[in-house]
Chains A and B, each alone.
Chain A
């Protein structure tokens, strides 16, 4: 073991001295995280930062429902809405000239129409600079009108059933103004989902880990190219020590770089991945998976250039397929295949951890990553060793 650790120490010293490991394992992924966060990070924020809106409205309806509609629009929690009432004929002009976000014209007899089941139109006028706020307001009015529509249907049904006029009106009003029988409530996201920022940090960390562990196999090829491999083989270290040392170098660099990336990502982008113990378990698992991949690369390639290309292709395929840049939706066999992707398993594991999951909750992603490691290690024994034939 002394020889292995001497080789590991020697390699780490060289990697740190030539600085390439800092550039490719830390600077590039952190820069990419920053750029991606600037480009997409805003989409993942929990609350929309909506600006105050102005609605120009006319309510010619003398019943309760017209006023209720306007009250509902004016009392939204997600944005401040100012309602300015004008005559119906002026709504369009005022909306356009004043820069208001939306104009609403509630016609005379709106309540009567709803309660008796007759058709009625609420006219909306979008502002000249319609933006996200206008879209939200239109959606709110749509929802309210749909709810009132339920009253119309109820009234029509009651009248067909031969109920008295008073009974029909009461039922229609109840349907229009009452709480919906089915409601959607906003709850916590699925335990396996990270925020977009979290996904970017986790994904980029996982992706660049695949590049970082490549420094191990690159070290082996560098030994071959600079002639030191022959000298190492002539020393009394056991067979297999050299490749073990290179794998350890890749593993150590991978664990270190990923830990730094997740920590810095957490601090810079304000995301949290939960229990450090669980995160550590996930980092060790994906580092093992990524390192095992380098065993195959080491047997297939003959030069450092070939190793770089092979490692880059594998990293990009697994990284993109695993959701390092954007979430991948899949079902069936493809979804099952994706579950075996160590990057996907890593992101999913961090999602579980971020949602408060413990070690027992990450058993599946950890198993997927370690299974990947075992498969790659086994496969590397079966692949012809082109490297030693060079």
Chain B
């Protein structure tokens, strides 16, 4: 594993979740191989990897659904194994598959799972109403969920995980199969949870979601953590270079020769009525590059900066695309 840095998270000094050297085998196949990470209060931690990377298996062990073959999971200092009840009280799980009862109403679903989490009477009623408002289903609370759209079911799926105000919320690919509007609503909710101090473990194979939400990210492939850190730290693993596309007319050869002298420009490729520059820190170099191109006689029609993303990191680390 490549460690980008020891990130200093916004809040909390104590680990809400500490996963150490977790291993899971099915027969001869090791599907999770020595995974370690920790999450603090208020931190949104992402597990980013393609389908089949082992993310859901890791989550299943963290949530105490299946036993691990080696390693440990601790939630607020308590060891989590399938028979644990204490740590599970701190946990809210939002499984990847919808986990709601189709013959029950939204309110009945919430009340049932709330009662299993130990909420009683007034508190249960009050929290149910709050969560129904939060997920935008207050006006449909008395309808059986089998009549709900996919997005509404997803929102309820998340609401159930939030009902008892868990210290640690686990979201396993919560936006799979969700329309863009519901997806955005879900992402906004998760962002808000982080700011409210909840520790969130978020798995996804959508690079944009990990970039938008997560304070720190583990890149998972073939059951192993390939790299861990903040977004910027991970990107620096690739060398941290940006790409600037210059389009225009005029003397591109002279422009290329002139721009080579700008500090930070590492490489220039030409062709198709434009130039492609590989640079360090594109946004700060951009004024000098635009000025240099103009001085060399190139009339620019468009400029585009492409910064490296987690997709590039994954490609850099594993040699394959995130969605392979």
Given contacts A2-B115, A3-B116, A6-B112, contact A234 B88 (CB under 8 A): yes
Verify B95–A231 contact, CB threshold 8 A.
yes
Chain B neighbourhood of A17, CB < 8 A: 103-104
Task: Given A10-B104, A13-B108, A236-B89, answer yes or no on A230-B116 (Cβ-Cβ < 8 Å).
Answer: no
Q: Mark B174-208, 1 if CB is under 8 A from A, else 0.
A: 00000000000000000000000000000000000
Task: Please state if B102 and A234 are interface contacts (CB–CB under 8 Å).
Answer: no
A283 to B180, CA, bound (A): 56
- On whether the beta carbons of A235 and B117 are closer than 8 Å, the reply is yes
The reply to whether the CB of A239 lies closer than 8 angstroms to some CB of chain B is yes
A236 to B65, CA, bound (A): 12
Residues in B whose Cβ lies below 8 Å from that of A235: 88, 113, 116-117
A18 is an interface residue with CB less than 8 A from chain B:
yes
Contacts of B101 in A (CB 8 A): 10, 14, 226, 228
> Interface 1/0s, chain A 210-228, versus B by CB < 8 A?
0000000000000000111
Given A10-B112, A13-B108, A236-B89, the answer on whether A228 and B64 have CB atoms closer than 8 Å is: no
B262 near A: Cβ within 8 Å?
no
Cβ A234 vs Cβ B104 within 8 A: no
- A309 interface residue per 8 A CB criterion: no
Size category of the A interface is 20 to 34
Interface centre among B89, B104, B116 (most CB of A within 10 A): B116
A232 at the interface (CB under 8 A from B): yes
Bound-state CA distance A231–B91 (Å) is: 11
Question: What's the minimum C-beta distance from B91 to chain A, rounded to whole angstroms?
Answer: 6
Q: Enumerate chain B residues within 8 angstroms of A227, measured Cβ to Cβ.
A: 95, 97-99
CB distance from A152 to the nearest CB of B (A): 81
Chain A residues lying within 8 Å of B83, measured Cβ to Cβ, are 238-239
9 additional contacts (CB under 8 A) given A231-B93, A233-B82, A236-B85: A2-B115, A6-B115, A13-B104, A228-B99, A230-B63, A230-B97, A231-B95, A231-B160, A233-B63
A268 proximal to B (CB < 8 A): no
Q: Which of B49-90 contact A (CB under 8 A)?
A: 60, 63-65, 82-83, 85-86, 88-89
| Chain B: CB-nearest residue to A14 | B103
* Interface, chain B (partner A; CB < 8 A): 60, 63-65, 82-83, 85-86, 88-89, 91, 93, 95, 97-104, 108, 112-113, 115-118, 160
**Cα distance A247–B99 in the bound complex, in angstroms:** 22
- Contact of B86 with A236 in the complex, beta carbons under 8 Å: yes
Are B93 and A230 in touch, CB under 8 angstroms? yes
Residue of B nearest to A235 (CB): B116
B65 in contact with A230 (CB, 8 Å)? yes
Contact for B116 among A6, A13, A226, A239, CB less than 8 A: A6
Give bound CA distance, A7 to B111, whole Å: 11
| CB-defined contacts of B60 to chain A, threshold 8 Å | 230
Q: Can you pick out 26 interface pairs between chain A and chain B where the beta carbons lie within 8 Å of each other?
A: A2-B115, A6-B116, A10-B101, A10-B112, A13-B104, A13-B108, A14-B101, A226-B98, A226-B99, A226-B102, A227-B97, A228-B99, A228-B100, A230-B60, A230-B63, A230-B97, A230-B99, A233-B65, A234-B64, A234-B88, A234-B91, A235-B116, A236-B86, A236-B117, A237-B85, A239-B83
Please classify the interface of chain B as helix (H, G, I), strand (E, B), loop, or mixed, using the class held by over half of its residues: loop
B103 touches A234 (CB 8 A): no
Chain A contacts to B: CB under 8 angstroms: 2-3, 6-7, 10, 13-14, 17-18, 226-228, 230-239
Q: Which of B63, B88, B93, B101 has the most CB of A within 10 A?
A: B101
List, in ascending order, chain B residues with CB within 8 A of A18's CB. 103
Asked if residues A230 and B117 are in contact (CB atoms below 8 Å), the reply is no
Look across to chain A and name the residue whose beta carbon is closest to the beta carbon of B98: A227
Does A234 lie within 8 Å of B112, measured CB to CB?
A: no
B116 touches A232 (CB 8 A): yes
Q: Smallest Cβ distance from A211 to chain B, in angstroms?
A: 20
Tell me whether B116 and A14 are in contact (CB under 8 A). no
The smallest C-beta distance from B154 to any residue of chain A, in angstroms, reads 12
A54 to B198, CA, bound (A): 97
- The answer to whether B95 touches A238, judged by C-beta atoms less than 8 angstroms apart, is no
Q: Which residue of B lies closest to A15 (CB)?
A: B103
A237 with B116, Cβ < 8 A, contacts A230-B65, A231-B95 known: yes
Q: Which residue of the partner chain A has the closest CB to B91? A: A234
Minimum distance in angstroms from A18 CB to a CB of chain B: 6
Chain A nearest CB, measured from B112 CB (Å): 5
Q: CA of A7 to CA of B97 in the docked complex: distance in angstroms?
A: 20
Q: Are B65 and A234 in contact (CB under 8 A)?
A: yes
Q: Which 6 A-B pairs have the closest CB atoms?
A: A227-B97, A234-B93, A231-B99, A236-B88, A227-B99, A235-B116
Interchain CA distance A237-B113 in the complex, whole Å: 11
**Closest-CB distance, B56 to chain A (whole angstroms):** 10
Distance of A232 Cα from B60 Cα, bound (Å):
13
> Whole-angstrom distance from the CB of A290 to the nearest CB of chain B?
24
Which residues in B have their C-beta under 8 angstroms from that of A10?
101, 104, 108, 112
Roughly how many angstroms separate A233 CA and B101 CA in the complex, as a whole number?
A: 15
Chain A proximity of B113: nearest CB distance (Å): 7
Contact of B63 among A226, A234, A237 (CB under 8 A): A234
Query: Which residues of the partner chain A approach B104 to less than 8 Å between Cβ atoms?
Result: 10, 13-14, 17
With beta carbons under 8 angstroms apart, the residue of A7, A13, A239 that contacts B82 is A239
A10-B115 Cα distance, complex, nearest whole Å: 11
List chain B residues, Cβ under 8 A from A7. Answer: 116
Q: What is the distance, in angstroms, from A337's C-beta to the closest C-beta of chain B? A: 39
State the CA gap A216–B95 with chains docked (Å): 24
Distance of A226 Cα from B153 Cα, bound (Å): 13
Q: How far is the CA of A230 from the CA of B91 in the complex (A)?
A: 13
